[in-house]
Homo-oligomer: A and B are copies of this chain.
Amino acid sequence: MEKSLKHVSGSVTAPRGFSAAGVFCDIKRLGTGKGSNKGKKRDLALIVSAVPATVAGTFTTNRVCAAPVKVCVQRVKRGWAQAIVVNSGNANACTGQQGLQDALAMAEIAARAVAPLQAKDVLVASTGRIGVTLPMPNVKAGITAAASLLDSAEASAHHAAEAIMTSDTRPKEVAVEFQLGGQTVRLGGICKGAGMIQPGMSQTGARPALHATMLCFITTDAAIGAKALQTALNQAVAQSFNRITVDGDMSTNDTVLVLANGLAKNKTLSKRDLETFQAALNHVTLTLAKKIVLDGEGVSRFVTVRVNGAKTFADADAAARAVANSSLVKTSWFGGDPNWGRILGALGYSAAPVVENKIDVGYSLPGSKKVLFSLKQGRPTKTTFAALCKITAEKAFDLHINLNLGRASTLIYAADLTEAYVDYNKGDVTDPTTLGG
């Protein structure tokens, strides 16, 4: 973390002029028969800026993308927005024309509830079941309730962070403060993840890239133009959300949105200021992205797969993703096993050209420069199995792969594959509403 950044408490309401709320409106339609308050988790969030804000967004490149994604891709292009309405429990994906109408209606209802907004100033996101249309009466009641509770207190942002959760076990929040253009500005965010996590987002939602639903909403009181904000977000997402994988599945709903309302009244940003802003945005997105991996469905270990010595970035990326998504490698991590045979197998079938007798494989504690190599030039080293196991027994460790073929490198933040993941995701035939991711 940059020295110039300071963590502050709270998240999306830490910057000036933002309010939030999170409520329960029964989007899963639990009904009242179940009688318990336990299932009544918040499922609708509102985030609102007191004044119009510049906006930037990145979206799933999945060709099957949800209705709210289609709406946001268009609205973000305008460069201005003022509110975000989000529901969990229903992804509003694969819901056809009705889904699109519902997404637009969510924005419309929110605009009226938070008057004097216009519908086009409201962005919308959803996560949850695929293929089921939204229960709009419940959604409307939820938006109305949330609007009446909008507040800039930390607790309200926390309620919003809770309301966007699905299989997440905890809310994910962060906020930082830094100097920018002569003023103290703040940048805060919330996100959710858990399963269907290997985002591959782009600005347009089109398909230049690779492969959760992961949702992330970021606010800042910095004054920054929409174009500069989008450029900064593209870079921030490239080094954070687009570098994580839990299960290799890319969602239909992945969305990151940033609102910058300018209430810090900083001067026009110099090149150096833009770098400062970038560093802050990188830090916030990376912190949130790592929280998603750590809280992935059934995840017991966080592994940073570092690939060096590739000929091209594309090769490094292909090699890292093959290892990070191999079921056999991931199950070996679950057991805390420094298995290099499976790693070599995955490298060998990746799209990257690799040469067996050039490959180095090593382990370190996160961030440590002391790497213990199990393999050098394709051959086992004299490092003892026990010494390697001591590292891989940790909750988090770094895997170092050097292809020794070139100078390109990358990393992927990955998770193990556990029985808990399978148990969580195995189909439930007693409940047709489990359709979807």
Could you say which of A37-45, A155-163, A271-279, A342-350 contacts chain B?
Answer: A342-350
Given contacts A62-B349, A63-B349, A94-B378, contact A337 B130 (CB under 8 A): no
Could you say which of A179-187, A219-227, A327-335 contacts chain B?
Answer: A327-335
* Distance of A430 from chain B, by nearest CB (Å): 9
CA distance A155 to B61 in the complex (A): 56
Given contacts A64-B348, A429-B336, contact A341 B93 (CB under 8 A): yes
CA distance A434 to B340 in the complex (A): 10
Q: Is the CB of A63 within 8 A of B353?
A: yes
Q: Is the CB of B356 within 8 A of A63?
A: yes
A166 within 8 A of B: no
Q: Is the CB of B436 within 8 A of A339?
A: yes
CA distance A336 to B333 in the complex (A): 28
Q: Is the CB of B196 within 8 A of A249?
A: no
Q: Is the CB of A393 within 8 A of B250?
A: no
List of B residues within 8 angstroms of A250 by Cβ? 345, 348-349
CA distance A131 to B193 in the complex (A): 37
Contact with B along A314-336 (1 / 0, CB 8 A): 00000000000011100111111
Q: Is the CB of A335 within 8 A of B437?
A: no
CB < 8 Å neighbour of A328 from B335, B341, B375, B425: B425
Q: Is the CB of A427 within 8 A of B336?
A: yes
State the interface size on chain A (CB cutoff 8 A). 72
* Distance of A325 from chain B, by nearest CB (Å): 8
* Distance of A248 from chain B, by nearest CB (Å): 6
Q: Is the CB of A344 within 8 A of B64?
A: yes
A283 within 8 A of B: no
Q: Considering residues A335, A385, A434, which has the most beta carbons from chain B within 10 angstroms of its beta carbon?
A: A335
Q: Is the CB of A131 within 8 A of B249?
A: no
List of B residues within 8 angstroms of A348 by Cβ? 62-65, 250, 252
A238 within 8 A of B: no
A428 within 8 A of B: yes
* Distance of A134 from chain B, by nearest CB (Å): 14
Kindly report which residue of chain B lies nearest to residue A130, judged by CB atoms: B341
Q: Is the CB of B427 within 8 A of A130?
A: no
Kindly report which residue of chain B lies nearest to residue A426, judged by CB atoms: B335
Q: Is the CB of B64 within 8 A of A437?
A: no
Could you say which of A15-23, A261-269, A416-424 contacts chain B?
Answer: A416-424
CA distance A337 to B130 in the complex (A): 14
Q: Is the CB of B249 within 8 A of A331?
A: no
CB < 8 Å neighbour of A332 from B334, B380, B427: B427
Q: Is the CB of B429 within 8 A of A418?
A: no
Q: Is the CB of B130 within 8 A of A249?
A: no
Q: Is the CB of B337 within 8 A of A378?
A: no
Within 8 A of B (CB), among A206-251: 211, 247-251
Q: Is the CB of A427 within 8 A of B345?
A: no
* Distance of A420 from chain B, by nearest CB (Å): 9
Q: Is the CB of A341 within 8 A of B435?
A: yes
CA distance A64 to B355 in the complex (A): 7
CA distance A211 to B161 in the complex (A): 41
CA distance A41 to B293 in the complex (A): 41
List of B residues within 8 angstroms of A344 by Cβ? 64, 93-94, 130-131, 252
Given contacts A62-B349, A341-B437, 7 further A-B contacts (CB under 8 A): A63-B347, A247-B327, A252-B345, A342-B436, A389-B429, A392-B429, A393-B429
Q: List 20 A-B contacts (CB under 8 A).
A: A62-B349, A63-B347, A93-B341, A96-B378, A131-B380, A195-B328, A196-B342, A247-B328, A249-B346, A249-B349, A252-B348, A327-B417, A331-B425, A335-B426, A335-B427, A336-B427, A339-B427, A339-B434, A339-B435, A419-B422
Closest 10 CB pairs of A and B: A337-B427, A335-B427, A130-B341, A64-B348, A341-B436, A335-B426, A331-B425, A385-B432, A62-B348, A250-B349
Binding site for B on A (CB under 8 A): 61-65, 91, 93-94, 96, 129-131, 195-196, 200, 211, 247-252, 326-328, 331-342, 344-349, 353-357, 375, 378-380, 385, 389, 392-393, 417-419, 421-423, 425-429, 432, 434-437
